[in-house]
Structure 1
């Protein structure tokens, strides 16, 4: 069997060139850029403002708003022309050489499509339309863009994490956005005016607290500056000054003796008041000191009890599950709970201490718990094991968690908070209700059970590729420890990556001893001196795809040449042959990713495009069969 690598790329290239179906034989032979423009017009120009017509092969370069270079559309500007329609996702997104896209001041509605394929885009102005839905998280993948304007629309949802080094203009004001504005290095460069007109936004950038539960004391304290004695005394001027200001002359006559008596009485009264105040202050101080001592004593006793529980390793078992108090998981002598990226503080450190926690698993960094706070809020808490983690300073841990905490993507399990104290580190994630990919593939399945259906494999592979590509594009981070147990299943069974960016804290000497983890690692990282990279993440992804396709753990994967890999996957699945074509393509992607040499591996962005190409090809074939 010959390698399928050239065949795969030829297939993907052809499929991307003819992804737009057309009832006209003539239109199917048009240049792809012309097809993209006509597809946009068909949905966005319902009032027929654009009189596009094609008389010559490259006539589209003379159409209104279009500018070309070497017959490739590089600029598309249509503003103030009353366009009325939707922005089709399979139209302008195909203009891969596009640098300028301006559709401002029209009446376009519907959602903004994923524009991440426009990787040369520098200017994106979609303001003053009627776009709705959420801001596409894929905007963060436009790493060359310098200007993004989405203001004066009807966009809802949250502001996604934006980390684009060269971004100079960003405006999402006058929409319906809610939630915390991510405090990233990029977004922090813009002031509150870039987010104004969105009453539901909060966070440091917009100067609005996200803690809706905060209460401020507004009680009787106002009286201290109100109608009390202080204000009345300040309104009375000394008698002499008052009279002089009215032109009255005070004659120094007989009442002088009475004046001296009045002064003496005032002095006695003043001294009495001072003495009373001093006595009252002493009494109050004594009460406060006693109360503080009592409070401190109770706190000290509680901390000693917690420390004793931790040191003795006490835990209880309820209904067959390991259940511990978070007091037995956390040493609370010092430290603070830090919420990431403007997150709302839904619970306190004390509440987290009191939460019950069920052990979900133990990994290379420590133990992961399902914690239930106040009997309603469910969290995932990872407690680092000091014996398994590398020595890192508190400052390094905080810096890394700040970077990790900024990442937000539908295929990442978000980090909500972290805690560190002497000898203790916790990371708090959202809880994912449907378990891990490892459990789905290996957990309750018998040894003779078939692997997942190939469509499920394709969907999961696409989700994981999306999440990894986002990590690599949106930050300087890598995952470093991708495996099926670090891929969780969300509410809708979407695949979500967890533990990303935390491999820095793992002790490399211990991971070498773990064959289940070593099997996922790229050859160049299997020694303690080898450093993980984005390309080593790609290798782990390739191994993960093979695990999906075969149902076999990577520790049981044989070492095969690419020409033999197809036969092995087919043998492990024992299929009837109806899905061979798609399996071969997905296996080829896995083979390319798991190449021995890092230089031969594609980037995750390229891998994502390959998988999306397979998905589009499947959809096209299904549509063709349905029409037949």
Structure 2
């Protein structure tokens, strides 16, 4: 009888022994069970949660836990007497979690990073003893519908980027110690908001969503003002009128946009005012026809009134770093402006106000750039507009008929992603451009946040939406006219009432002051072929600026900090700046590729803006298909 070789028999026996060992080994603990037990170990110092794991899926039967297909989707342990910190890297491993409620316990310490809970829809952390600032990781929970942090010991300012939580239905932040201004919340789905009993201050932003709420939502914040709380806000100085408030501090680029409402920092140093009342006397040598004489007298009276309200801020006031007490206020006479100028409304717009109403409006300085100075003007009718006063030296040197034809062409541009140009005015040495006011700030402020805190890059879905909006606006300008933007940058992209991205200051680069010293970030948007002369700017220059803007969105880095890299290295840099875990690689690669193509050195290598828009829409469609598949699986 044939026997197998001894070596083969030994190997077979060894294999059978190893199989028995493997079969007898205890199964690995499920990751969701590990997450729950890790949380209990630190957050349940009094052992209120009686969790024990005897079988592999016992944890799905634990108190407060609900599973679907073996994964935890709901964790509700409210009013359980839990005491301890909320340990990081525990519950955040439950990546299929939809509902989390830890309310009405005695948990303390900071709220950890919850950004890995990408599927979370409901989060209740209220009635605990959590401390620290508002957790910035919550801004990355893009499926969140209900969020409650009330009755804790949280402090600090509320982040402006709360606006990114666009699916929110209910938000409660009451009874903490939040301070600063209230973000301009305008989530169309938001039905419940409570920020009462904090330390918020300033005007309540005028948005359709906040206007629907009652005063109780904001009670207990004595420094809040506005119509909703029936408390009048401090008035501002008159537009082109006597400067009654202290001068405004020099503005950085983050404030050279409509997103920052610059409130005078101090009223201790009174500005020496020059109120020049220039009385223009007309000597009537010969007795004229009585009717003509009355008309002249009436005209003189109107001119004298206008002169007294013609105080404007000197050009150097924003550019220089001069102390408040040393700044000068310059009296400008508007006599010639009233004599020869008129307010022209564009594209058949109904005239809602006159030049005199505009001169009487209260004004607030918003920023200063190469094109001119921007003001927020509140008219007597409560209408708010943005007024850009073009640089005087450039205006005086250009032909009035050219200016009028150009502004008529710009005024005909109408698109949801363009801030509408409503009217313009020109007279000798004076040119004004009037836009709709956008209350929700600029993209610059959204991306870079406050000066004191390093803002994380926006979630890729926000980057995609903003990129599509801006591409829509630019493509429209290029398709329907021979015009170009010429000055695209994040401070010239504003957020509309529904937080759509809207381009402003478009087609005004023709009137830019070439002597204005731009900051490095603004200069970085300029295409190589347009850096020496703005006249050489083309539609491909706008595409280059769009590429720089897209990289700014993806990385959160100022344009002057963007390295010059090959496309492959650019992908690695973007990933490194975002600190991603790899879950967004595919989408990031596609968006980064678009930015790389747009910012090519040679204009011939850059695609037309319409093609760029189609590329972004293709990325959006692929994401929508993935979301549809995810919803079906859920």
Aligned to 2:511: 505
Secondary structure of 2:494 counterpart: strand
Structure 2 match to 1:539: 544
Deviation at 1:609, TM superposition (A): 0.5
2:612 matches 1:607: yes
3-state SS, counterpart of residue 392 of structure 2? coil
Q: Match of 1:432?
A: 438
1:292 aligned onto 2:295: yes
Cα deviation, residue 357, structure 1: 1.1
How far residue 577 of structure 1 moved from its aligned partner, in angstroms, is 1.6
Say if 1:592 and 1:601, in contact at 8 Å, map to a contact too.
yes
- 2:491 corresponds to: 485
SS at match of 2:626: helix
**Bigger share in helix:** 1
The aligned runs of 1:123-138 (5 Å cut-off) are none
- 1:569, 1:310 → 2: CA distance? 42
Secondary structure of residue in 2 paired with 1:448: coil
Change (3 A) 1:562 1:290: same
> Is 2:305 aligned against 1:302?
yes
Pick from 329, 332, 335 the counterpart of residue 338 of structure 2: 332
Aligned-residue offset at 1:516: 2.4
Aligned to 1:100: none
- CA 1:453 to 1:390, structure 2 compared with 1: closer, same or farther past 3 Å? farther
Equivalent in 381, 390, 394 of residue 384 of structure 1: 390
Q: After superposition, what is the alpha-carbon deviation per residue over 1:390-449, rounded to whole angstroms, capped at 9, x for unaligned?
A: 831101100110100000000000100000000011000011110111111124265433
Match in the other structure for 1:568? 573
Q: Distance in 1 between matches of 2:599 and 2:312?
A: 46
Secondary structure of the 2:617 match is helix
Deviations 1:570-627 (A, max 9, x none): 1111122211110111011000100011111111110000000000001111112222
5+ long unaligned stretches in structure 1: 1-284
Root mean square deviation, CA, Å: 3.1
Which secondary structure does the structure 2 equivalent of 1:599 belong to? helix
Where in structure 2 are there 5+ consecutive unaligned residues?
1-287, 319-323
Which residue of structure 2 aligns with residue 470 of structure 1? 476
Query: What corresponds to 2:416 in structure 1?
Result: 410
| Alpha carbons of structure 1 residues 312 and 370: separation in structure 2 relative to 1, 3 Å | closer
Pairing 1:188-227 to 2, within 5 Å after superposition: none
Partner in structure 1 of residue 464 of structure 2: 458
Helix, strand or coil for the counterpart of 1:536? helix
Partner of 1:101: none
- Check whether the contact 2:310–2:331 (CA below 8 A) recurs between aligned residues: no
Q: What is the count of residue pairs matched by the alignment?
A: 339
1:620 aligned residue (621, 625, 634): 625
Measured after TM superposition, the shift of residue 301 of structure 1 is: 1.8
Distance across 2 between alignment mates of 1:529 and 1:404: 18
Paired with 2:424 and 2:410, the residues of 1 have a C-alpha distance of: 11
CA distances 1:215-243 after superposition (whole Å, capped 9, x unpaired): xxxxxxxxxxxxxxxxxxxxxxxxxxxxx
Residue 289 of structure 1: how far off its partner (Å) = 5.2
Structure 2 residue matching 1:575: 3-state secondary structure: coil
* 2:348 equivalent to 1:342: yes
Q: Deviations over 1:118-177 (max 9, x none)?
A: xxxxxxxxxxxxxxxxxxxxxxxxxxxxxxxxxxxxxxxxxxxxxxxxxxxxxxxxxxxx
Encode CA deviations 1:70-107: one digit per residue, 9 max, x unaligned.
Answer: xxxxxxxxxxxxxxxxxxxxxxxxxxxxxxxxxxxxxx
Partner SS, residue 477 of structure 1: coil
TM-score (norm 2): 0.50
* Inter-CA distance 313–596: structure 2 relative to 1 (3 Å threshold): closer
For 2:513 and 2:315, the matched residues in 1 are separated by: 25
User: Secondary structure at 1:610's aligned position in 2?
Assistant: helix
Distance 1:299 1:329 in 2: 9
Aligned-pair distance for 1:349?
1.2
Q: Deviations over 1:10-31 (max 9, x none)?
A: xxxxxxxxxxxxxxxxxxxxxx
Q: Separation in 2 of the partners of 1:312 and 1:472? A: 33
Residue 328 (structure 1) shift: 8.3
**Counterpart Cα distance in 2 of 1:329 and 1:539:** 43
TM-score with structure 1 length normalisation? 0.50
Shift of 1:324: 12
Deviations 1:240-282 (A, max 9, x none): xxxxxxxxxxxxxxxxxxxxxxxxxxxxxxxxxxxxxxxxxxx
How far residue 286 of structure 1 moved from its aligned partner, in angstroms, is: 7.5
Deviation of the 1:517 alpha carbon: 1.8
Instruction: Quote the residue 1:577 is aligned against.
Output: 582
Report if aligned partners of 1:326, 1:356 keep a CA contact under 8 Å in 2. Answer: no
Give the alignment of 1:248-397 within 5 angstroms.
288=291, 291-306=294-309, 331-387=337-393, 391-397=397-403
Q: Does the residue aligned with 2:338 lie in a helix, a strand or coil?
A: coil
Q: Report the alpha carbon displacement of residue 515 of structure 1 after superposing the two structures with TM.
A: 2.2
**Rg (Cα) greater in structure:** 1
**Contact 1:323 1:359 (C-alpha < 8 Å) held by counterparts:** no
Query: Structure 1 residues 329 and 470, CA, compared in 2 at 3 Å: closer, same or farther?
Result: farther
User: Is the 8 Å Cα contact of residues 358 and 369 (structure 1) preserved in structure 2?
Assistant: yes
Q: Give the Cα–Cα distance (whole angstroms) in 1 for the partners of residues 594 and 547 of structure 2.
A: 7
Are the equivalent residues in 2 in contact too, given 1:310–1:331 (CA < 8 A)?
no
* C-alpha distance in structure 1 between counterparts of 2:413 and 2:337, whole Å: 28
Quick one: structure 1 residues 380 and 595, their matched pair in 2 at CA, closer, same or farther if it must change by over 3 Å? same
Where in structure 2 are the equivalents of 1:10-159 lying within 5 Å? none
**1:333–1:515 CA distance, 2 compared to 1 (3 A):** farther
Structure having greater relative contact order (Cα 8 Å, sep ≥ 6): 1
Instruction: Please report how far the alpha carbon of residue 330 of structure 1 lies from its aligned counterpart in structure 2 after TM superposition.
Output: 9.9
SS of aligned partner of 1:493: coil
Give the 3 Å change call, closer, same or farther, for CA 286–526 of structure 1 in structure 2: closer
